[in-house]
Every structure is written in structure tokens, then in C-alpha cells.
Amino acid sequence: MKYRQLILLSVLMTTIGACLAQSTVIDDFKPASSNQPNKQYPQVNSERRVKAGITAPQAQKVQLDIGGKRYDLTKDEKGLWTGISDPQDEGFHYYQLNIDGAQVPDPGSLFFYGASRWGSGIEIPAKDQDFYALKNVPHGQVREHLYFSKLTEAWRRCFVYTPPDYDKKPGVRYPVLYLQHGSGEDETGWAVQGKANLILDNLIAEKKAVPMIIVIDKGYATIPSQAAEQKAGPPARGAGGISAFEQVLIKE
């Protein structure tokens, strides 16, 4: 009997726990700042939970895939699936939806390159968001620059941030920061979701940084002759073309 009571107690506590967990979600969800214009989902609340939503009347199973975990969504009578994640870390996250086994971008979000693919991303408001906010300060420019790389035998693209008034002072020389993205990202990482331009605009306006140029390139490159060798032999130093990028950066 004691054993049975223990099981009963355990089941009861788990149930209460689950109910409490549900009831403690604060219902102050708002559309994320990283959404497409006028899109209601995804949303974020003050606990940094993500509420996903997508209309899929005939779907059997829909999941939100964020932060290494999948959350089941539930369908209402109109065919709208919604579901809420655990609290996420502050800042920018890549995520996707899973509809009946298909991994797809969320049509509500803007799209970003990261995790080695173009897909959905969401901005979770951070305590230091003022640092990268779009403010009424002088703004520099982000310039798309195409160049042919003889090493990789291919066209490459980098972004170059030039500080405010750069064009008005053609004789001035500026320090240059070469700013590299993280694993699985590309030259759009710092130029788009990383908001390097807004960070520098703000720092320069507050005189916390001197006006500077930032070069934002992709940290991956493939040298055709080495790629052929790598296929035949053991992997070379600098997996994923990082070593080749070192050469592009230094020589080109």
C-alpha cells in the first residue's frame, strides 16, 4: 500500500507541477522585432519565451525548433497552431518550424544566414539592447563590395562599414577592424543580424570609439586545387576552408 501511495503522490505532484508550469507563463507576448512587416507570429514575452504560430489546417504535427529543443504546437478550431518555448537566452536566435516532418522557415520571421542555412531568426530583447539600437545619431554606410579572388577562382562579397562623413573627408585615414562571424555564418552575420553598423554609429556618437572602417567578410573559402587534394587524402589544417580564408584575407 505504501508503494502505491508513493506512486499516486508522485503522479499528483507531477500533474500539479505541470499545471503550475503552464499557469506561470506570463501572457504579455508581443510580435518579435525580427518579424516580417505586420506579422503577428512569432511573439516573445517578458520571460523571453517564444510563442510560435502558423496556420496549417491539415497538418498532423507541428513543432517549434529553437535552442536545441522541439516544442509541440497545438491546433485551434481555425487551423492555427501555437506553442510556447522555455525562456531563451537574451539576444538573437536561429530557429525553424517542423510541419509533418518538413523542416521549414517560419513565414512570420525575417530570414538570416546562420547554422549554415538561410532561415528564420528571432530577436529576444536583451538588457543591453540600447547598445545596438537604431538611434538618432549620424549613421555610417554599409557597402556591398564584390571582388574576384584568384586564390579561390571565384567572386566573393564583403561588406565594408564606413563611418559618418567618410565621403566628405577623402583625405582622412581611418583604422580598420576586420570583424569575423561565428561558425556556420557568413558575411551577412555582422552586417545584418549583428548590427555592427548601429553598434559603431552609437559608439562613435558617444565618443566611446574613434571613427573606423570595418571589413566584414566570409570566413570560409575553398581553393580548388586543395579541395581536390582533400577529397583524396586526410583532412587539411583548418577544416571548412578557414585556412584558405586566411590566405584570401592576407593576400587579397
- Binding of residue 14 to a copy of itself (CB under 8 A): no
Nearest to residue 191, comparing CAs of 140, 152, 149? Answer: 140
Backbone angles phi, psi at 6, to 5 degrees: -60, -45
- Please give the C-alpha separations between residue 141 and each of 133, 160, 199, 209, in angstroms, as whole numbers: 16, 8, 12, 16
CB nearer to a copy of itself: pick between 57 and 233:
57
Using DSSP's 3-state secondary structure scheme, residue 74 falls into: strand
The cell numbers describing 219, all together, are 570566413
Contacts of 50 (CB under 8 A, 6+ apart): 32, 42, 43, 44, 64, 66, 84, 85, 88, 93, 95, 122, 124
Secondary structure E strands in 150-232: 154-162, 176-178, 213-216
- x-or-dash pattern for a copy of itself, window 34-53, by CB under 8 A? --x-----------------
Taking CB under 8 A as the rule, does residue 33 contact a copy of itself? no
Q: Does 70 bind a copy of itself (CB under 8 A)?
A: no
Question: What distance in Å separates the CA atoms of residue 221 and residue 229, rounded to the nearest whole number?
Answer: 15
Among 11, 21, 46, 118, binds a copy of itself (CB under 8 A): 118
Using CB under 8 A as the binding rule, whether residue 58 contacts a copy of itself is answered as yes
| By CB under 8 A, residue 72 contacts a copy of itself | no
**Applying CB under 8 A, what is the total number of residues that bind a copy of itself?**
42
Quickly list DSSP for 95-122.
Answer: EEEEETTEEE--TTB-EEEETTEEEEEE
Binding of a copy of itself by 148 (CB under 8 A): yes
Q: Is residue 32 near a copy of itself by the rule CB under 8 A? A: no
* 18, 72, 89, 143: which one binds a copy of itself (CB under 8 A): 143
Position 215 contacts a copy of itself (CB under 8 A): no
Asked if residue 222 lies in contact with residue 244, where contact means CB atoms within 8 angstroms, the answer is yes
CB of 91 to a copy of itself, least distance (A): 21
Residues 163-202 as x/- pattern, contact with a copy of itself by CB under 8 A = ----x--x--------------------------x-----
Rule CB under 8 A: say whether 111 interacts with a copy of itself. yes
Q: Are 180 and 219 in contact (CB under 8 A)?
A: yes
Q: Which range binds a copy of itself by CB under 8 A, 11-19, 23-31, 82-90, 142-150?
A: 142-150
Query: Which residues in this chain contact a copy of itself in the complex, by CB under 8 A?
Result: 36, 54-62, 79, 96-97, 99-107, 110-111, 117-119, 134, 136, 139, 141-148, 155, 167, 170, 197
